[in-house]
Chain A
Amino acid sequence: MKKKYHYVIVTFLSLFSAAMMYPMAWMLMISFKTNADIRTNKTKFFPEEWTLEGYKTAFAKAPIGHWFANSMFITICITAAVILTSTLIGYVFAKYQFRAKKMMFVLLLATMMVPPQVTMIPRYLMIQKMHLFNTKWALIVPALVSAFSIYLAKQFITDVPDSLCEAAKMDGAGPLRIYWSVILPNIKPAIGSIGIFTAMANWNDYLNPLLMLNDIDKMTLPLGLVIFDSQRTVDLSATMAAAAMIMMPMIIIFILFQKQFIKGMTLSGMK
């Protein structure tokens, strides 16, 4: 049933999408222009002459390779740890009976309501006292357990039939064995969903690196990027080249895996 108004909607959404993409397109165009080109041809969208000068300057000015490696390491560590801790804790909440279970779950949810800005000063002081300040571990350690991910994991694990667990128990499987060979294989979409959420949140995080890292070489990509903005005269071509380099890998990964991404997001909302 294709109707006239369907075409109206497609036209409207196409225009809307084009507007949504404009800032990204502008960033890419500026990144391929020279600063002289930006100054003289203010109304032109495309570069007069395509150049990689901006990218070269960005690399020369800042340790983007280091930032990339730091962001990578931190994101991978946290994501792997969170997948492990949230499924394990979610499993206990979903499949085991124990005293004060309900109250403990409510407490867990309550920790989600605390905004990070409320705890940031104490966390900063604690990290200093633990001698983790200005290291990768200052970001990794506090993020190892995530209440939101536990909540998501628990919702999914509840749907795994109890009979499967009971059957495995009859066969002599211990709790960890059940976790590994019954629970985990049955909640793969949930693992994807938690992984995507965690990776994105930490890859893009700005507040925590801002508080916990000091040295330029130790910074993550979002934190490092701001250095370009804080210089007195902003080299626009290099700044947009750096911004593009920071954004494009994630965007390309997203476009390649968008089906899984969207599915993961959707699952989290339905639970």
Chain B
Amino acid sequence: MKNNRFTAAVLVPSFLFLFMFTAFPVVYGLGISFFDYNPASTENLFLGLENYKRLVRDDVFWEAVKNTVFFGGAAVCANIVITLFLAKIISVLPWKRWKTFFRTILFIPCIAPVVGTSMVWKYGILGTDGGVLNKIAAGFGAAPKNWFLTTLPLMLLIIVYTLWADIGYNVVLFTAGIEGVPKEFDEAAAIDGAGPVRRFLSIKLPLMGRTFAFVAIMTMANYFQMFAQFRIFAPKGGMNNSAMVLTNYIYRTSFISFDMGYASAIAAGLFLIVFVVAMIQNKMMRADWSYE
């Protein structure tokens, strides 16, 4: 259909709006990154590339880049392996009731706000006094540990928390994806003598490509933005900034130190990383995935 007046009446205001809150802020932020910008001061000094020079020399920034990439990479890979496995074993069950039950249970943590469940984990799981981890450690005769003062273990625990809080989504999506693959393919492979694992890896997995691509992209985009759990578990970035991620570093620099110019330069760095990752993903996901 064609109706230019209607099309314009809908699209012009909505695009203006969308750009006002996404594209314009990107440009605005880039602009601020060249200033010594503090919203409270009347005069903000133009610094040119000074903020970027500082960024390159900033150890905390590079630590945060490293942690963000480590967190994103490790958590996304673990998430996909675990959720594919769970989705697969749920989908082979012959009882509908149990399938629904397990999917529901696994999804419950996704419903709750991350700050809420992070706080539950902070005291109930990692807590120095009464947390499960230390209770288990005590069972082995180990002294209680303050996990919040550790480096790598804290990061790994934040990843475990994130998986706990988030696997429900992908289990649901993958179960639907697995069940959406026509049965004939699987049966044909079975007749040819392929075992269940083999069939899953070489028939099901490639055939549910569309779901897989969607899940991988969404999870990746999501994990690079994780913020709330880091604010609860390591508000100041943890021991030696070992749990400092870019989002928290930007937040701290801009809204706690009010050094918004420099924070905008860090944000530009984050934008660059996300852009590069998106490009790589785009290349990898180019393949044609349909089974029609």
Contacts and interface: CB of A to CB of B under 8 A. Distances in A.
Interface of A: 1-2, 6, 9-10, 12-13, 16-17, 20-24, 26-27, 30, 38, 42-43, 85, 88-89, 92, 95-98, 104, 107-108, 111-126, 128, 142, 144-145, 147, 162, 165-166, 169, 174-176, 200, 203-204, 206-207, 210-211, 221-223, 225-226, 228-229, 234, 236, 239-240, 243, 246-247, 250-251, 254-255, 258-259, 261-262, 265-266, 269-270
B177 A269 contact: yes
A89 B8 CA distance: 11
The contact size tier of chain B is 35 or more
Interface string B119-142: 111111100011010010000000
Interface in B100-129: 100-109, 111-117, 119-125, 129
A246 B29 contact: no
A269 B116 contact: no
B4 interface: yes
Contacts of B32: 121-122
A104 B104 CA distance: 38
A98 B7 contact: yes
Nearest to A252: B111
18 contacts: A9-B90, A20-B105, A42-B130, A96-B2, A97-B1, A98-B4, A114-B23, A121-B260, A122-B28, A122-B29, A145-B18, A200-B111, A204-B114, A222-B114, A247-B112, A251-B111, A266-B172, A269-B177
B263 interface: yes
A269 B214 CA distance: 7
A175 B6 contact: yes
Given A12-B89, A38-B130, A254-B107, A269 B164 contact: no
Contact of B120 (A24, A165, A226, A261): A24
Interface string B50-75: 00000000000000000000000000
B117 A23 contact: yes
Nearest to A200: B111
Contacts of B98: 10, 13
B41 interface: no
Contacts of A122: 24-26, 28-29, 32, 264
Nearest to A142: B21
B25 A20 contact: no
A243 B116 CA distance: 6
B275 A113 contact: yes
A145 B14 contact: yes
Contacts of B105: 17, 20-21
In the A-B complex, the 9 residue pairs with the smallest Cβ-Cβ separation, listed nearest first, are A122-B25, A119-B25, A269-B173, A204-B113, A122-B28, A266-B176, A222-B113, A247-B112, A26-B124
A236 B131 CA distance: 12
A221 B3 CA distance: 44
A132 B174 CA distance: 41
A255 B124 contact: no
